[in-house]
Structure 1
Amino acid sequence: MSLSKIKRSDLTFGEELGRGGFSVVYKAIWKQSLFESQEVAAKKLIKPQANEMKIMSQLEHENIVKLLAVVDENPDFYLILELCPGGSLRTYLDERRGKRLPEDQFYDWAKQAARSIEYLKKMGIIHKDVKSENYVIADHNILKLTDFGLAKEIDATIENATGSATYAYMAPELLKDFILSPSYDIFSYGVVVYELWTTQKPFEGVEGYAIIWKVCHLNERPPIPDDCPEPIADLMRQCWLEKWKDRPSIDHVLTVVRPSQLNPAPQSCRAC
């Protein structure tokens, strides 16, 4: 996909939307012509990563945040992204602490989150930082995956991989053996499903190195509530299996989060 290169002066910056170790995201107005402008998210990369731009420029999917343009004016480097006005999924869940999502919304968002990973798998990409903070909410309750700063193109295991990500979502093969596996994102997805069901943060209040010990040496995972439907509870357990080859495929995941009772088959027409 050919990307537009625009000037920093084409942007009018507003509030800060979020920040990470290597970036800050602002709400901005992109003036495209004398009579046309667009609200966008402008992600300033403190440490420019060509890999993130390269990967995002290949992606076109309803559940992936779209890269619209770039600003490349040393020292300013911005990724211009579609703006998702609902904010992050994590912020949304924090506002509902202790109150479950309606069942249809839970299944819908679990399905949308899975579809983003399904698409990346088809594109040969591991996101490597799947978490509720990196899902944002667009109009019409569309969930979109963003932040591809750690993403990798992968068609096999990668050994001696770096371990930088968020500990509570990291699979044991990366935490313990520095291996990035083809089913790495499936493990992280299971944690997002846990968040969608409980609205809680995984391993909240536990320090990073304590999480590593719990996951890798005690084989602990976030506690699944007793009232969780068994197919969803079992899906989480499967996603969190220690051996990455034993985890479910994304195709299997999608069969679980598309329950037939929520998507009844149309009645046959006797007159047809």
Structure 2
Amino acid sequence: MMITLQKDRYETLGHLGSGATSRVDKARDNVIGRIVARKTFLNGFGEDLEQQFLREAQIIGQLSDPCIVQLYDVGIDEQGTPFLVMEYVAGKTLEDHLGSSALTARRACAWAADLAGALALAHRAGIIHGDVKPGNILVTADNKVKLGDFGIARFVSQISGSGLLKGTPAYLAPEQIQGEPQDPRSDQFALGIALYQMLTGLKPFDGSSLGAVCAQILNADPVPPSRHNPALPQALDLIIARCLAKNPKDRFASCDELASALYPLARSRPPSAAPKTRKPIWW
């Protein structure tokens, strides 16, 4: 049975955003006394889907990682509408950051590595995010990233051939477009697109229509990032190419492996001249 809402527990403070299936408000939890983000779905679920929604929320709520927006509560309101209560993150989305300034390669690699680690944790719990994109990545005031909106995630065992897992067209993997079974490497493909944007300011697959974008994802090889930004090392070209491989078998075996490839680049610095030393003075 679905958990019901304690009356007047969550006080709405302001609107944060809306999508095709839900809206998100800033709210105060009047029981605990903390500020939260409350996501309300615009349409109710049938009884079977409500139980699935609750089971998935229970799994997602157990994910604990600094780079995952924490899920605090789940239930239905007085009108029977399902909702999620999540950690409120003060800051902007990665999409906002990409629109205002370029990222350094070190920061892009650090953020992508942290996100890959968070996805690996979710994948080990049997959860595919399904909609990794800059708009679902929050950047905190201290320049850390958090992955949010696991609202369309499904258990791996439930998604094969179901057609239930949807996402944003420009970030879909080829297997998602073709309606084939998906696995965690579909999230890796989307993260590779986001990393490409962080490094170049451009999307690797773009077009004037949905069909054109999907055709590029299925058939076109993206331009190596270093062609747009010559300062990037060749190692990043290879990492991006592997993330964006058409065949999932050609991608990294896991997001943990991707994170391991990115962290050394996040720590590396451009070569600098050796410091000048003074000759000793003998008295």
Q: Which residue of 1 aligns with 2:281?
A: none
SS in 1 for 2:225: coil
Partner of 1:159, secondary structure, is coil
Match of 1:270 in 2: none
Does the C-alpha gap of structure 1 residues 5 and 115 become closer, same or farther in structure 2, counting only changes over 3 Å?
Answer: farther
SS of residue in 2 equivalent to 1:116:
helix
1:1-272 alignment runs, 5 A limit: 6-7=5-6, 9-32=8-31, 37-48=33-44, 50=50, 51=53, 52-75=56-79, 76-96=81-101, 100-154=102-156, 158-162=160-164, 164-201=166-203, 203=205, 206-216=208-218, 218-221=219-222, 224-226=225-227, 227=230, 228-249=232-253, 250-259=255-264, 262=267
TM-score (norm 1): 0.82
Shift of 1:71: 4.4
Residue 233 (structure 1) shift: 1.5
| TM-score, normalised with respect to structure 2 | 0.79
- Give the Cα–Cα distance (whole angstroms) in 2 for the partners of residues 203 and 263 of structure 1: 28
CA positional deviation for 1:155: 6.1
Q: CA RMSD in A?
A: 2.7
Query: Which residue in 2 is equivalent to 1:267?
Result: none
Aligned residues: 255
After superposition, give the CA deviation of every residue in 1:128-167 in whole Å (9 maximum; x if it has no partner): 1111111112353221111112212226982353463111
Aligned identity (percent) is: 26
Query: For 1:32 and 1:65, how far apart are their aligned partners in 2?
Result: 20
Distance change in 2, residues 1:48/1:62 (3 Å)? farther
Distance in 2 between the 1:23 and 1:201 partners?
Answer: 26
In the TM superposition, residue 6 of structure 1 has moved relative to its aligned partner by: 4.8
- Kindly state the Cα deviation for residue 185 of structure 1 after the two structures are TM-superposed: 0.9
In structure 1, runs of 5+ residues without a counterpart are 265-272
Q: Secondary structure of the residue that 1:180 maps to in structure 2?
A: coil
Contact 1:48 1:77 in 2 (8 A): yes
User: For 1:60-99, what per-residue CA distance to the aligned partner results, in whole angstroms no more than 9, with x for missing partners?
Assistant: 2211111112342242432111111112111222122xxx
Shift in Å at residue 260 of structure 1? 6.3
- Deviation of 1:261 (Å): 7.7
State the SS of the aligned residue for 1:140.
Answer: coil
Bigger Rg, structure 1 or 2? 2
The amino acid that maps onto 2:153 is A
Q: Is the 8 A contact 2:75 2:82 kept in 1?
A: yes
Taking the aligned partners of 2:249 and 2:6, their CA distance within structure 1 comes to 46
CA distance in 1, matches of 2:158, 2:240: 23
